Amino acid sequence: MSEAAGTGERAGHGTELLVVGSANADLVVAVDRRPGPGETVLGSDLVVHPGGKGANQAVAAARLGARTALLARVGDDAHGRLLLESQRAAGVDTSAVLTGGAPTGVALITVDPSGDNSIVVSPGANARLRPADVRAAGGLLARARVVSVQLEIPPETVAEVARALPAGTRLVLNPSPPAALPPDVLAVCDPLVLNEHEARVLLGGGVGGSGGPGPGPQVPGSGPGPGPEDWARGLLALGPRSVVVTLGAAGALVAGPAGGERVPSPRVRAVDTTGAGDAFTAALAWRLGLGEDLATAARFAVRVGAAAVTRPGAQQSFPTADELPPATP
Ligand code: RIB
């Protein structure tokens, strides 16, 4: 049986951002070169960090000053305790973090000298976060201005979040790892936030954008065009209210029915990109909940993502508000 894991420092004040998602222990090895198929490479000593796309977003937002809560499931084990400690240290409301049912999720991560990574996730307890857990957290959902979800939890749980969303509450969805989304979920995404790889998969370009196996096109004939503006148009045709395509060092593209706008990123030296997308999405979601428009929120979020790549790891790389690089003119 599971039990709620306790209450963090900011509980009871109303929630600016509720994150529903995964919590993983990140097992990280630095390598000179990430291995190809059938290849073995030697790497650094192993380090274990708190991670998972949901847990990362919650910590990123709380560290910026947002009143944040996390709905997630961890195992009753040392990795679960590591994750809970990290959430509480950041000030996240953990009253809806459930414990037990399976070992805590684990992410096996290799990072190369350019800061790029490859990740394999064993979902563990994340796969046991059920629609009933979302229904049981109805009070938390009702108090949230914005709810943010990703795809490291079961699709039926994501669908339940979309169904249970109170009127006036905004849903931000990062389809990572990428998978096809049902029309009723896509219809409430505002925005759908995704990187180039995820955009290509949702548009039917296949894993890695190479035409390999993927969820396949959701709109017949809507393959990816030559650039982000084309992807954004194709993605909007799938039904979300708005789209944000993250472009790494090039910043982001925000797009809605009225058109698109590029948002440049500050220039920084990347050390480790792990979790930078989560930090970006959390910052974006929080600022949307404060009433900013999409482009304004994205101009803040690119600064958060840029700061996050300058330090190793996921959660420990996330900045406070006074650690952000200046906005790009
Ligand atoms: O987005 C980065 C995260 O992806 C890592 O922390 C890892 O846990 C995986 O979920």
- In this prediction, residue 206 carries a pLDDT of 52
274 Cα–ligand 1 center, Å: 7
- In this prediction, residue 225 carries a pLDDT of 52
Query: How confident is residue 217, by pLDDT bands cut at 50, 70 and 90?
Result: very low
The ligand 1 atom at the shortest distance from the C-alpha of residue 277 is 1
Which residue's CA lies nearest to atom 1 of ligand 1?
A: 275
Angle at 142 between CA 140 and CA 146, to 5 degrees: 85
- In this prediction, residue 14 carries a pLDDT of 80
94 Cα–ligand 1 center, Å: 19
CA distance 121 to 70: 19
- In this prediction, residue 155 carries a pLDDT of 98
pLDDT, tens digit, 9 for 90 and up, residues 170-213 = 999 999 999 999 999 999 999 999 999 999 999 987 544 333 33
Query: How confident is residue 115, by pLDDT bands cut at 50, 70 and 90?
Result: confident
pLDDT, tens digit, 9 for 90 and up, residues 117-151 = 899 999 999 999 999 999 999 999 999 999 999 99
Tokens in use for 220? 């017949």
167 Cα–ligand 1 center, Å: 30
Which residue's CA lies nearest to atom 9 of ligand 1?
A: 52
pLDDT, tens digit, 9 for 90 and up, residues 241-288 = 999 999 999 999 999 999 999 999 999 999 989 999 999 999 999 999
pLDDT, tens digit, 9 for 90 and up, residues 92-103 = 999 999 999 999
**Would you say 302 and 280 are in contact if contact means Cβ atoms under 8 Å apart?**
yes
Which residue's CA lies nearest to atom 8 of ligand 1?
A: 52
- In order of 40, 109, 150, the CA distances from 299 in angstroms are 41, 29, 22
Question: Residues with catalytic annotation?
Answer: 278
Mean pLDDT over 11-21 rounds to: 80
221 Cα–ligand 1 center, Å: 32
Mean of per-residue pLDDT scores for the chain: 90
Pocket of ligand 1 (CB under 6 A): 22, 24, 26, 51-53, 56, 107, 119, 121, 152, 274-275, 277-278, 314
CA distance 41 to 39: 7
- In this prediction, residue 220 carries a pLDDT of 36
CA distance 171 to 174: 10
